[in-house]
Amino acid sequence: MINTATSSTALGLPSISGNQSKINAIMGHNNPIYLPLTNLRLDKIRSGFACALHMHQPTIPAGDQGKLISNLQNMFEHPDQGDNHNAQVFAWCYSRMGEFIPELVDAGKNPRIMLDYSGNLLWGLQQMERHDILDKLKNIASNPKYYPYVEWLGTMWSHAVVPSTPIPDLKLHIQAWQHHFASIFGEEALNRVRGFSPPEMHLPNHPDTLYEYIKALKECGYRWLLVQEHSVERLDGTPLNYHDKYLPNRLQAINSQGETISITALIKTQGSDTKLVAQMQPYHEAKGLPKQILGSITVPPLVSQIADGENGGVMMNEYPRGFLPVWDELQGNGIDHEGVVGINGTEYIELLAANGVNPEDYPVCQPVGQHKIWQKVSHDTATSQLVEAAIQELKETDHNFHMDGASWTNNLSWVQGYENVLEPMNQLSALFHQKYDALVEQDPTFTQRPDYQEALLYNLLLQTSCFRYWGQGTWTDYARELYRRGEALVS
């Protein structure tokens, strides 16, 4: 089990750094993960569906004397405010897959689910000593009887939206989540985490940010990520066609130096309405899809969806009535009479590879809007100056063009109107790296020190998307307080 320094634990800090060499060893291989575990056969499947649940609660300075606590704890302590009366239901939502999966498997069913829990939420459950929730999650993360049916997805530790996260902190968030997950669920469970779920499904479209993002994901051992359908385009700027969005795509990034990198992407279709997952729409959509050709191989398409696992009345109250009966419709081999099956992301990709599909055969996509840049700048002669000049020209001449990225909440901006959060966020990040980068480069074990870990914690916490999602007021006040404390630590 991965542990951070004892003194850090005594200070009540989460396990977010200090064991990078061990994390690298766990994640640094390309061996099949779910292929040896799966009870599915690709030739028996006509189409599949993959459902993921996203779970998050921010960390806020709202406890006694400004202590850092989970917003979930704050909901329990103030049930008369807003929708805080739902705290108990939210808590059950965080644990119920730990009830549903064993129940279904013990009954001979063949369920599948993917889970994305932010580091904030996991730490909050630890702070609240909700061992009832954590123990149920440990059972489906670490028990060989149940973990073949559950795929955990990595994410940014503090639910930071990638396009407006300082580039040097992308990898810190990714690694912090890996440290924390392993400290709770074990190294062997971390070894099976190979898919990545971006907070708010936010995909950067600036060439350099995207390149560094994919580079960090691959260096941290991730093999694929979820992307929103309307956040990507073909290389010529056209939208994904109807068929390609049900296949793995190859997300390509070209930076301002002309360097290219890519990673497998599974496409989240349609909108962000939680009812799609709560009512198991992906299963019903998969029923209408025929097999497709990928390269020279006939393969089953996959309907991929993710939704908040607790937000909204439908997800809170109706989801069990949608989720549980589906697995009764599927036969003993997990496939219904039409050849439709539930399947998780890595399991699907590995089954394709085992049946001769080459990732080079995947259709290629890039973030929306990038074709406009590459129409003005040649990959072969690209420089930072040329790319930035093209971006500036497009901003001035094309009102539809921006470099804010795209997410499942496109009606909201994570940048405009939040300068009072973004500027301190970038400043704290700069101060953090000025103080610690050289020290860590000289001695990697420096990341085990409590002072480093506390400063890292505040740097990551300030980047939590919630401080910009909910508008000006209490949440931006929280951000200012986090900045004040973080700045005091690194000054």
Report domain extents, the chain: 15-366
What is the mean predicted confidence (pLDDT) over 185-211?
95
What is the mean predicted confidence (pLDDT) over 358-387?
93
pLDDT in tens, 138-169: 999 999 999 999 999 999 999 999 988 999 99
Q: Specify the pLDDT at position 467.
A: 82
How buried is 162 (Cβ within 10 angstroms: 0-12 exposed, 13-18 middle, 19+ buried)? Answer: buried
Q: Specify the pLDDT at position 8.
A: 54
pLDDT in tens, 403-458: 776 544 444 433 344 455 578 888 899 899 999 999 999 999 999 999 999 999 99
Q: In whole angstroms, what is the distance from residue 61 CA to residue 53 CA?
A: 27
What is the mean predicted confidence (pLDDT) over 56-78?
96
Q: Specify the pLDDT at position 329.
A: 86
Q: Specify the pLDDT at position 2.
A: 55
User: What mean pLDDT is reported for the chain?
Assistant: 90
Q: Specify the pLDDT at position 405.
A: 60
Q: Residue ranges of the alpha helices (H) in 96-242?
A: 97-106, 119-127, 131-142, 167-185, 187-191, 207-219
Side-chain-side CA neighbours of residue 392 (13 Å): 6
The reply to whether CATH 3.40.50.720 applies to domain 15-366 is no
Assess contact for 299 and 44: CB atoms under 8 A: no
Residue 314 pLDDT grade (very low, low, confident, very high; cuts 50, 70, 90)? confident
The answer, yes or no, to whether residue 11 has pLDDT greater than 70, is: no
Residues 6+ apart with CB under 8 A from 488: none
Q: Residue ranges of the alpha helices (H) in 302-344?
A: 313, 319-329
Q: Specify the pLDDT at position 301.
A: 97
How buried is 241 (Cβ within 10 angstroms: 0-12 exposed, 13-18 middle, 19+ buried)? Answer: exposed
Coil, strand or helix at 188 = helix
> Pick from 212, 234, 214, 211: which is nearest to 223 by CA?
214
To the question of pTM greater than 0.75 for the whole model, the response is yes
Q: Specify the pLDDT at position 457.
A: 98
What is the mean predicted confidence (pLDDT) over 117-145?
98
Q: Residue ranges of the alpha helices (H) in 220-270?
A: none
Least confident of 264-268, 417-421, 475-479: 417-421
Q: Specify the pLDDT at position 411.
A: 42
Q: In whole angstroms, what is the distance from residue 418 CA to residue 380 CA?
A: 36
Q: Specify the pLDDT at position 410.
A: 45
Q: In whole angstroms, what is the distance from residue 391 CA to residue 236 CA?
A: 17
Per the model's pLDDT, the better-predicted residue between 332 and 48 turns out to be 48
